[in-house]
Amino acid sequence: MSPPSAVAVVTDSTAYLPPGLAERHGLTVVPLQLAVGGTVRDEAEVSTAEAARALKEWHPITTSRPAPERFARTYETAASSGARHIVSVHLSSALSGTVEAARLAARDAPVPVTVIDSATIGLGLGFAALSAASVALSGGTPEAAAAAATRRAELTRSLIYVDTLEHLRRGGRIGAAATLLGSALMMKPLLHIADGRIAPLEKVRTSSRALARLEELAVAEAGDRKVDLGVQHLSAASRAESLAARLRERVPHVEDVYVGEVGPVIGAHVGPGMLGVVVAPQL
């Protein structure tokens, strides 16, 4: 079904939107791929539990962008359903070649395609895609939908706790020097997304102090603004639910709070025990 404005919005599976939310907003989700044990599958075909088990046992997991042909088919389907323009919003180009694949496919698409590099990942990307979809569903122009995605991504802050930086180091998503820094004296690292990359933010001596600090940083980032919050985790559901409950109490103008587990593409790089908070001011 085509949106009223005939603007279709596409994102990728690393947005990790709650079940049903993409469908309700008319969003099309293109899956990234990963290989566990040498077999390449779409992200949706690999359970988070399977990926977490492999990571805990230090079995290699590799991830890859969707092929340009996958985007080409998606754009053709949108056009045949009545879309006259497509806004395609994806994870940071500093972390994946997904944006490049989308741009390659856009060159020969049957309708104009605007590809947005969100410079973020996870629900930071998800909130940006939802903003574009809301504009499209309300009859907005392609330019307005693209601008909404870009602005929401720019305003959004992603804060991350990981038990170890080793998974990020192995995947080439953080430098060896930062890994050594985080390992010194068994420090627990807090990270954030900066300039499209995962970067060190603070070091805390224990996991309990790190999680308390993660909460404080999220509350401070939200301030008095109207915000949506995302609490994401990998094999840490009880921690995530507890953190979300405290944030609901402490953030004065919170609108929606989404709690969920990240999929295996992010999970392969952050490892079990990861806990993240996404603070997304409303436009």
pLDDT above 90: residue 157: yes
The pTM for the full model equals: 0.88
pLDDT in the model for residue 277: 98
Distance, in Å, from the CA atom of 167 to the CA atom of 162, rounded to the nearest integer, reads 9
Retrieve residue 109's tokens. 């698409």
pLDDT in the model for residue 182: 46
Mean pLDDT along residues 146-170: 86
Confidence band of 219 (pLDDT split at 50, 70, 90): very high
Confidence band of 181 (pLDDT split at 50, 70, 90): very low
pLDDT above 90: residue 7: yes
pLDDT in the model for residue 179: 46
Distance, in Å, from the CA atom of 178 to the CA atom of 248, rounded to the nearest integer, reads 32
Phi, psi of 190 (to 5 degrees): -110, 135
User: Out of 3.90.1640.30, 3.30.1180.10, 3.30.43.10, 3.40.50.10190, which CATH number does the structure's domain 157-281 have?
Assistant: 3.30.1180.10
pLDDT above 70: residue 234: yes
Which of 139, 153, 126, 114 lies closest to 22 in space, CA to CA?
Answer: 126
User: Out of 1.10.3720.10, 3.40.50.300, 3.40.50.720, 3.40.50.10170, which CATH number does the structure's domain 7-31+66-154 have?
Assistant: 3.40.50.10170
Residues of the chain with CATH 3.30.1180.10: 157-281
pLDDT in the model for residue 34: 84
How wide is the angle at C-alpha 19 spanned by C-alphas 85 and 111, nearest 5°? 10
- For strand 7-12 and strand 85-90, is the pairing parallel, antiparallel, or unpaired? parallel
Tens-digit pLDDT profile for residues 8-45: 999 999 999 998 999 999 999 999 988 777 777 888 88
